[in-house]
Amino acid sequence: MAPPVLSDCSACAATRFLPFRRAVSSEAFRFQPSVSLTLKPSSLIAVRSISSDGRSSSAVSAVTMNADTSAKVIDGKLVSKQIKDEVAEEVARMKEAIGIVPGLAVILVGSRKDSQTYVRSKKKACEAVGIKSYEANLPEDSTEEDVLKHISAFNNDPSVHGILVQLPLPRHMNEETILNAVSIERDVDGFHPLNIGRLAMQGRYPLFVPCTPKGCMELLHRYGVEIKGKRAVVIGRSNIVGMPAALLLQKANATVSIVHSQTKNPEEITRQADIVISAVGVANLVRGSWIKPGAVVIDVGINPVDDPESPRGYRLVGDVCYEEACEVASAVTPVPGGVGPMTIAMLLSNTLESAKRIHNFK
């Protein structure tokens, strides 16, 4: 559950969003951004987006600013909606042209409430863009063999183009054995060691990039944040976010440092970064004093903290002290409404990409 809250500096971010149309030009920054932001002074702007496989596409991006502070809000909810619209259009085009509908299979083992919620939202997102979703719900006490059998069945099912095994798995299962069983052509999570290994190598490219770090990069690209030659710090080194995020930033020619639980001076190192990606799962760990003025901050943390006033009894905050970051950074992602929705959008995009590749549809 909720890790200790270091300070409560994270009251509801959404209330301070300016209406979407009231965009503010980059001249309004209190600080000179340390990263050049090529945002134009209109709420809807076209920017070039380089996807993880190096191809570029044009996209539309939005600028909102906090009413009482200087940082731009990087609106993941809005960008994820744009991506979903793009995916829906492609899904329809594919169906029309070759009669194929992309399919995503999700395997959920056990009955963790949070996992069930995530799986439900993935299913809903699939439906919304016309991707067919398949689900295998296995009891907590299933054996590894049970899970492997389901993976094998989905691997051999021609209507399934993406397979996702919801993490975390029950403790008695070996995550490595299970993730290795997903065919790399269907590994839309990008967790197969072959996909991760290729991500780490110069001049090689994975079939899929993990959804959350890919979503972070997509936000940077769609908001026109220059990465090449910039200093980036990734806080956290998990297999599913921190490590691949660092690899992606490096592939995009940033100079990358990783700050982790054994780092002696995390604050000092983070303060050198033009781009910060935090993925540790500790509420409000990153204070304003950790952030270089003008830096761009991507907050991956989704941490529940008790809140008796909220209908659910808790609310979600990021790893970053949002209010403090807004005073110092040039742009910040909120929680919720930042990276979270992007993760799901990238999953849909990976599933579409997989179906296109399998059926050689351009």
As annotated, the active-site residues are 122, 166, 189
**Binders of ligand GUE: how many residues, by CB under 6 A?**
16
Q: Of 189 and 274, which CB lies nearer to ligand GUE in the complex structure?
A: 189
Q: Of 195 and 343, which CB lies nearer to ligand GUE in the complex structure?
A: 343
Strand partners, 46: 60
Asked if 337 touches ligand GUE (CB under 6 A), the answer is yes
Rounded CA-CA distance 31/256 in Å is: 23
Asked if 189 touches ligand GUE (CB under 6 A), the answer is yes
Q: Are 16 and 58 in contact (CB under 8 A)?
A: no
HSE, CB side, 13 Å, CA atoms: give it for residue 347: 30
Q: Of 50 and 167, which CB lies nearer to ligand GUE in the complex structure?
A: 167
Q: Shortest approach of ligand GUE to residue 322 CB, angstroms?
A: 13
Q: Shortest approach of ligand GUE to residue 332 CB, angstroms?
A: 14
Q: Of 34 and 349, which CB lies nearer to ligand GUE in the complex structure?
A: 349
275-304 residues near ligand GUE, rule: CB under 6 A? 302
Which SS3 state, helix, strand or coil, does residue 285 take?
A: coil
Residue 208: closest CA among 182, 228, 232: 182
Asked if 340 touches ligand GUE (CB under 6 A), the answer is yes
End-to-end CA distance of the chain: 44
- Which member of 118, 134, 208, 223 binds ligand GUE (CB under 6 A)? 118
Q: Shortest approach of ligand GUE to residue 23 CB, angstroms?
A: 21
Asked if 254 touches ligand GUE (CB under 6 A), the answer is no
Rounded CA-CA distance 109/8 in Å is: 34
Which SS3 state, helix, strand or coil, does residue 106 take?
A: strand
Q: Shortest approach of ligand GUE to residue 340 CB, angstroms?
A: 2
Q: Shortest approach of ligand GUE to residue 252 CB, angstroms?
A: 21
Beta-carbon contacts of residue 149 (< 8 Å; ≥ 6 apart): none
HSE, CB side, 13 Å, CA atoms: give it for residue 229: 4
Convert 240-265 into a string of H (helix), E (strand) and C (coil): CCHHHHHHHHHHCCCEEEEECCCCCC
Q: Shortest approach of ligand GUE to residue 121 CB, angstroms?
A: 6
Asked if 343 touches ligand GUE (CB under 6 A), the answer is yes
- Which member of 292, 329, 336, 354 binds ligand GUE (CB under 6 A)? 336
- Which member of 163, 344, 348, 355 binds ligand GUE (CB under 6 A)? 344
Q: Of 64 and 166, which CB lies nearer to ligand GUE in the complex structure?
A: 166
Q: Of 33 and 338, which CB lies nearer to ligand GUE in the complex structure?
A: 338
Token look-up 């990976």 returns: 350
Tell me which stretch binds ligand GUE (CB under 6 A): 3-11, 51-59, 225-233, 340-348: 340-348
Rounded CA-CA distance 79/159 in Å is: 28
Beta-carbon contacts of residue 130 (< 8 Å; ≥ 6 apart): 88, 91, 92, 95, 101
- Cβ-count burial of 55 within 10 angstroms (0-12 exposed, 13-18 middle, 19+ buried)? exposed
Q: Of 33 and 210, which CB lies nearer to ligand GUE in the complex structure?
A: 210
Tell me which stretch binds ligand GUE (CB under 6 A): 67-75, 224-232, 251-259, 331-339: 331-339
Rounded CA-CA distance 233/215 in Å is: 17
Residue nearest to ligand GUE (CB): 340
127-186 residues near ligand GUE, rule: CB under 6 A? 164-167
Rounded CA-CA distance 300/88 in Å is: 25
- Which member of 62, 91, 94, 211 binds ligand GUE (CB under 6 A)? 211
Q: What are phi and psi of 331, to 5 degrees?
A: -155, 140
Binding site for ligand GUE (CB under 6 A): 118, 164-167, 189, 211, 302, 316, 335-337, 340-341, 343-344
